[in-house]
Chain A
Amino acid sequence: MIDREQVLHVARLARLRLTEAEIEAMTGELSSVLEHIEKIGELQLDDVAPTSHVVELENVLRPDEPRPSLPREKALAEAPDSDGVGFRVPSPGA
């Protein structure tokens, strides 16, 4: 149902670097789950509206007034690497 090439493609999209063993296992496991999901195809759903959310809600807006935000030192406190002003990361590279 899903082959090695597809697993590698999806892993790339998901920003996951899988090990060789994980790629192998994932191919079989995802296929068996997808096979179960195929059951949906038995249903006639053409004229059914999709549900993304069960609660009928209107969008909520707050007044556009300035208010304090998370202080910088608090926001940076858990950073794996920081220069005290922002989060430090390696170059995006070529």
Chain B
Amino acid sequence: MSDLTEASAAELIDHVEAGTVAPEEIWDVYRGAAAADDLNAFLWVAEGDVPAFSRDAPLAGVPLAVKDLFCTEGVPSAAASRILADYRPPYTATVVERLVAAGAPMLGKTNMDEFAMGSSNENSGFGAVLNPWDRGRVPGGSSGGSAAAVAAGSAPWAIGTDTGGSIRQPAALCGIVGLKPTYGSVSRYGMIAFASSLDQAGPLTRDVTDAALLLRHMVGRDKCDSTSTGHPSEIELPSAERLDGVRFGVPPELTGDGLEPGVRAVYEQALKRIEELGGAVQEVALPHSGHAIAAYYVIAPAEASANLARFDGVRYGHRTAESDTLLSLYEQTREEGFGPEVKRRIMLGTYALSSGYYDAYYGSAQRVRTKIADDFRSAFESVDLIVTPTSPTVAFGLGERTDDPLAMYLSDVLTVPMSLAGIPAISIPGGLSEGLPVGIQLAGPAFSENRILDAAYALELATAFDGSRARA
């Protein structure tokens, strides 16, 4: 092959199996590309030769970029936080272990918003990531490094995590595919926890087939994660070329005034393509989705404030040099180690859970969550999938939203409802608006990943999106 970085991961596997490319060659090309990355997408890149893997492993040695949120034994795992700078965990996350065992050796650890809190990657403790389509813009977040690396061709594929949109939104802003699986299908063991009832790992890939292939080896029940359920059916490689008989729901609550005109145009084009492929497009109501952000920004910070209590400077990570009592050690370590957004979320969550406010905030938010899940359940009685844009805007400028936390939070308005309901959703490129990628989101009922992947594949074929400019 002339240029390995122009092939998809599935194509690379075919080449390895046909004997036309050696895994060592793929490793060297991508290790070189990752080491030469100038988008700040990587926080750590593997050195030396390709790590040993089983020669009959299904992923054939195609290397994997791993979000810094995953614990990897002996390899820096900081969740892009200064409080965990240089931390090397004593164990590896289950999902990473599974993928490595399936033949995807770890290429590097990717940059992200600190503890996955952010929608732009500007909250990293190790500097922002640049969008390969326009280096003056953000790649989205929180899995911004994984998205930028795959889009730029410095990784064949990557894994990230999605709590309120952290896989789908950066995939959309970087012009690649990102899938958030049904909550529970992938083990969270060894993922540095942000909001435990929402966090879910998933693939970021160049196309839908690669997403299916990677997801197939991620799902599974894990005795180390009591909330993991595995997947009821094997993840199939998608093959649909038509959408005959598939009913697509358009929720007016999520596709109204808030969309940028260029995003709307690409979205309408996608709806037209769906109809041309034989799919039926109809309106469907999600009446409580307008309250999803409000509920999310109670639930996620509340869970985060509890999860992040463990970072106290006692057992691992940063410890302040200036403390004389145990309390001042905690307070000063956390003041020095956490960035502004993480502090804001801890404060918000602690406030929402504090005596006198618990029912008004956390209790009510959990009730909204029930309503949102019910909305989706009713919607899926009349449609098979819901289709929206992934993000109301294209990639925004670096620094543009950092002074206004609420404006940043509203970036997730189209992805948060699915997270609260725990249902799977994919973002695929739908086209360009003023030269920047626009993502189309397809969501389905719990465990409908095969249906989503098939529809996304048919739409992907018809769209024929060209992402090569980001790799130039």
Contacts and interface: CB of A to CB of B under 8 A. Distances in A.
Given A39-B291, A43-B288, A19 B335 contact: yes
Contact of A2 (B197, B298, B351, B446): B351
Contact of A54 (B183, B223, B312): B183
A2 to B, nearest CB: 7
B225 to A, nearest CB: 9
Contact of B229 (A14, A49, A57, A59): A57
Interface in A9-46: 9-11, 13-19, 22, 25-26, 29-30, 32-34, 36-43, 45
Contacts of A45: 364, 367-368, 371
Contact of B405 (A33, A38, A89): A33
B323 to A, nearest CB: 6
Interface string B284-309: 00001011011101100000010001
A22 B277 CA distance: 54
Interface in B132-179: none
A68 interface: no
B186 to A, nearest CB: 12
A50 interface: yes
A6 B355 CA distance: 12
B366 A51 contact: yes
B248 interface: no
B331 A29 contact: no
A22 B340 contact: yes
Nearest to B329: A90
B325 A14 contact: no
B463 interface: no
Contacts of A15: 309, 312, 327, 330-331, 334
- With a 10 A CB-CB cut-off, give which of B347, B363, B364, B371 has the most chain A CB atoms: B347
Nearest to A61: B226
B409 A43 contact: no
B218 interface: no
Given A33-B409, A36-B406, A53 B227 contact: yes
Nearest to A33: B406
Contacts of A60: 223, 226
Contact of A17 (B314, B335, B363, B371): B335
Q: How large is the interface on A (under 10, 10 to 19, 20 to 34, 35 or more residues)?
A: 35 or more
Contacts of A16: 331, 334-335, 338, 343, 346-347
Nearest to B361: A37
Interface in B329-365: 329-332, 334-335, 338, 340, 343-344, 346-348, 350-351, 354, 361, 363-365
A10 B371 contact: no
A78 B331 contact: no
A13 to B, nearest CB: 5
- Majority DSSP secondary structure for residues of A touching B: loop
A17 B328 CA distance: 8
B314 A89 contact: yes
B102 to A, nearest CB: 25
B220 interface: no
Given A37-B361, A55-B183, A17 B226 contact: no
A75 B91 CA distance: 11
B406 A32 contact: yes
Given A50-B366, A57-B226, A91 B315 contact: no
A70 B334 CA distance: 26
A93 interface: yes
A85 interface: no
A43 B366 CA distance: 13
A92 interface: yes
A13 B90 contact: no
Contact of B371 (A18, A26, A48, A87): A48
B422 interface: yes
Interface string B218-232: 000001001101000
Interface string B398-436: 000000011001000000000011100000000000000
B239 interface: no
Given A30-B348, A40-B294, A48 B226 contact: no
- With a 10 A CB-CB cut-off, give which of A26, A52, A55, A90 has the most chain B CB atoms: A55
A80 interface: yes
Contact of B363 (A26, A41, A50): A50
Contacts of B312: 15
A33 B351 CA distance: 12
B216 interface: no
25 contacts: A10-B347, A10-B354, A13-B354, A14-B346, A14-B347, A15-B330, A15-B331, A30-B344, A33-B297, A37-B294, A40-B291, A50-B369, A51-B366, A52-B366, A54-B183, A55-B184, A57-B226, A62-B223, A75-B315, A79-B314, A80-B318, A90-B325, A90-B328, A92-B325, A93-B326
Question: What are the 7 closest A-B residue pairs judged by CB atoms, nearest first?
Answer: A54-B422, A50-B366, A93-B325, A80-B319, A78-B316, A17-B331, A45-B367
Given A2-B351, A13-B354, A51-B369, 10 more contacts: A16-B335, A16-B347, A34-B351, A40-B368, A43-B291, A43-B368, A55-B422, A59-B226, A87-B314, A92-B325
